[in-house]
Structure 1
Amino acid sequence: MNHPLKTSLLAGLLASLLSAAAHAGTGLTELPGQGSDGPVTVYYPSDADDVPVSRGPFRLRLAPGGAPARGNGRLVVISHGSGGAPWVHADLARALVQAGFVVAMPEHHADNYKNTRNPGPDSWKLRPAEVSRAIDAVARDPRFAPLLALDKVGMYGMSAGGHTALSLAGGRWSPARFKAHCEAHIADDFPACVGLFTRLTGGLLDGVKKAAAVGVIGHRFDDATWYTHHDPRVAAVVAGVPAAADFDAASLATPRVPLGLVTAGRDRWLTPRFHSDRIVQACTPCERIAHLPDAGHGALLSPPVPPEVMGALETDLLGDPPGFDRAVLPEVDRRIAAFFRTHLTTGP
């Protein structure tokens, strides 16, 4: 019990028990997006009991369509990573619901499990506004609008969703900085620049792969515009293993809202020294909610994606490294919930 991630276990359990007394289950519903936006998946406190449900390869316990119950009156939006689904953050959503929050997950355009056509900077330009419209979608729904005060909303994002989170915390980035980063560090941060298209193997073709990647990136991402997004309703942000090499780190030295970070020491998709470490070093007021020294990039996918539905490269980049213990993740989720509870449900 002396592991640093378990020091607040008793407090977390007591908070969960108190919250569980207020409602029976974790409700689940889907709201239509605005215009051409994809659906918004909503997890929420419910009076209904949880039952076993299947969503894709995942087996979950939820209360689909259950009547909403009053929680703490606050909303948290979760932004998934590239190719993500609303189910890979179900454990965090449950922890937030147990703490009284309603949780909304927008489906990001052309960068989700149904459609992976356009990840990277093209998606990063769209994602923050999709978060804002997800808040609007919840605000329009007659089941949730009476239960929520939307002047202080929380936002969590992981990986590409972490990029979205940094944008909503006040950071500025540009596609040209992404291009410059990949030109300078293509060998050391190849997966961040190329994704799942191919990998370096140490073979004779590696030079061709690097040159081709730099050529394509240089052609597509020479836009030097600074991209930012401000939503005054977002009052606290958590970024998990964020894509961050293309941010102006100085823009996050003093975030516009409280910013928490969750980092992984053995991240092979987003090499920490180019991504999360830059933000940790720049942002002295940020809270390091958790650092998982033995974790890989996919540690914050919980439940994890089953290995049988992933390709070899995806498994290599997202799979848990030897020695990583997923038993620490519920405490990480409780810490994230506690961060949002502190910044959204207390004070003026």
Structure 2
Amino acid sequence: MRRLHSLAGRAAAALGLALCVASAQAAMGLAELPGREGDGPVTVFYPSAGPEATVQRGPFSLQLAPDAPPSPGNGRLVAISHGSGGNPWVHADLARVLVQHGYVVAMPRHRGDNALDPSTPGPQSWRQRPGEVSRAIDAVLADPRFAALDARHVGLYGMSAGGHTALVFAGGRWSPGAFRRHCEANLEADFAFCVGLATRLHHDAWDGLREWVVRQVLRLKFRDEAWLGHEDPRVAAVVAGVPAAADFDMASLARPRVPLALVTARDDRWLVPRFHSTPVLAACLPRCEWLADIAGGHGALLSPPPPADRLGDIALDLLGDPLGFDRGAMHGIDEAIAGFFDRHLTRP
């Protein structure tokens, strides 16, 4: 009997190794699912044995297998919430690493805060993003091609505004009123978070007027003091990359609902760490994991990065890599993110 157990164990280990090898060699399939309840489309990447070809999406040339049949992976789904003005393609490198680990990866297009329609970023988008993620999970799980996925162990990665969404799924609560109060108190020091890409300070005689206009908008639009949150019991592990977080009740993140990890960027000038990632870490450690601190800026987690000629001056200043930044190191960060999900989604 002991010998039978030993043989069974070896067979299971061999099967697991074979699945890992198969996943590592898998092509990256691409599908687009219709969104639900008026949401934008859901882009899905997945392991496939289909042949890859060059696929052009905007300025990005990617090797993908569009609509190819899925291959068996690890049976788990990871959703990705993009940042303000984002799209699926700037997270294609992370998606590929996740696919090589066996995951199906789903990316909703957040309404009013994506590359095609950047009309309503900030708190208006943050209100609706968690529901969009949950409905994107619904859409993937309802597709017959992905029927074998485990609906009880879903991962979520979010970057920037998507990191804000990720913190909500980890149990955090925030409010538009907290956003207003933070920006009124720290407008000059955290200007990009409070204003986005609409304008910036020029350190000239007009800065006083710029700040006065911003304060009037803040007081008019962000008076709601209600704390906002969202629960989805299917999401079982969360990674927040350079998250927008200054409007959170940090006490709500002291005991994350699920395993939570953070990736930070020490030279982030869009979401200044001392207002965002640093208070989150102070609140949640040691009950969360500080997965990596990148020696780069806010745009380090965009991989492949958007071409510089597609960015305006403000975006280029906030997203561009600092001098000497090694983009080659980002593959290791992606592997660390996938490893975190492996530990919390695929192991007993």
Distance 2:178 2:327 in 1: 34
Aligned to 2:27: 25
1:47–1:69 CA contact under 8 A, matched in 2: yes
Determine the structure 2 residue equivalent to 1:123.
125
Amino acid at match of 1:115: D
Task: Provide the secondary structure at the position in 1 that maps to 2:87.
Answer: coil
Deviation sequence 1:42-84 (CA, Å, 0-9, x none): 0000011222211100011111111101100000000000110
Residues 1-40 of structure 1 mapped to structure 2, 5 A cutoff = 19-22=20-23, 23-40=25-42
Question: What do residues 261-295 of structure 1 show as CA deviations (whole Å, max 9, x unaligned)?
Answer: 00000101011100011101111111111101x21
User: Which of 43, 46, 49 is residue 48 of structure 2 equivalent to?
Assistant: 46
Aligned to 1:11: none
Distance 1:297 1:18 in 2: 35
Residue 35 of structure 1: CA displacement? Answer: 2.1
Contact persistence 2:172–2:252 (CA under 8 A): yes
Answer whether contact 2:76 2:153 (CA < 8 A) is retained: yes
Partner residue in 1 for 2:81: 79
Q: Is the 8 A contact 2:26 2:100 kept in 1?
A: no
Superposed displacement of residue 323, structure 1? 1.7
Return 5+ residue gaps in structure 2 as ranges: 1-15
Q: 1:174 to 1:230 in 2, by over 3 A?
A: same
| Shift in alpha-carbon separation, 1:335–1:17, aligned structure 2, 3 A | farther
CA shift, 1:21, in A, is 2.8
Confirm whether residue 150 of structure 1 aligns to residue 154 of structure 2.
Answer: no
Which residue is equivalent to 1:335?
A: 336
Runs of 4+ in 1 over 6 A off after TM superposition: 15-18
Whole-angstrom distance in 1 between the partners of 2:31 and 2:190: 38
Tell me the residue number matched to 1:219: 220
Measured in 2, the distance between the counterparts of 1:88 and 1:105 equals 11
* Structure 1 contact 45–102 (Cα < 8 Å) conserved: yes
Aligned counterparts, 1:1-348, within 5 A: 19-22=20-23, 23-145=25-147, 147-284=148-285, 285-292=287-294, 294-347=295-348
> After superposition, what is the alpha-carbon deviation per residue over 1:158-187, rounded to whole angstroms, capped at 9, x for unaligned?
000000000000000000000000000000
Contact 2:19–2:73 under 8 Å retained in 1: no
Secondary structure, in 3 states, of the residue corresponding to 1:49?
A: coil
Residue type of the partner of 1:283? C
Question: CA 1:17/1:338 → structure 2, altered by over 3 Å: closer, same or farther?
Answer: farther
Q: Is the 8 A contact 1:240 1:300 kept in 2?
A: yes
Q: Distance in 2 between matches of 1:320 and 1:218?
A: 34
- Whole-Å separation in 2 of the counterparts to 1:114 and 1:186: 28
| AA partner of residue 44 (structure 2) | V
AA matched with 2:26: A
What is the distance in 2 between the residues matched to 1:21 and 1:259? 28
Secondary structure of the residue that 1:125 maps to in structure 2?
A: helix
After TM superposition, the score normalised by the length of structure 1 is 0.93
CA–CA separation in structure 2 for the residues paired with 1:92 and 1:82: 18
* Aligned mates of 2:193, 2:17 — CA distance in 1: 37
The amino acid across from 2:178 in the alignment is R
Unpaired runs of 5+ residues, structure 1, are 1-14
SS at structure 1 position matched to 2:231: coil
CA distance in 2, matches of 1:19, 1:40: 26
Tell me the TM-score normalized by structure 2: 0.93
SS of alignment partner, residue 237 of structure 1? strand
8 Å Cα contact 1:177-1:246 kept in structure 2: yes
Aligned mates of 2:170, 2:255 — CA distance in 1: 9
> CA RMSD, aligned part only?
1.3
Larger radius of gyration between Structure 1 and Structure 2:
2
Q: Using a 3 Å threshold, how does the CA distance of structure 1 residues 54 and 291 change in structure 2: closer, same or farther?
A: same
Kept after mapping to 2: 8 A contact 1:24/1:50: no
2:69 partner SS: coil
SS in 1 for 2:80: strand
| C-alpha contact 1:16 1:98 (8 A) present in aligned 2 | no
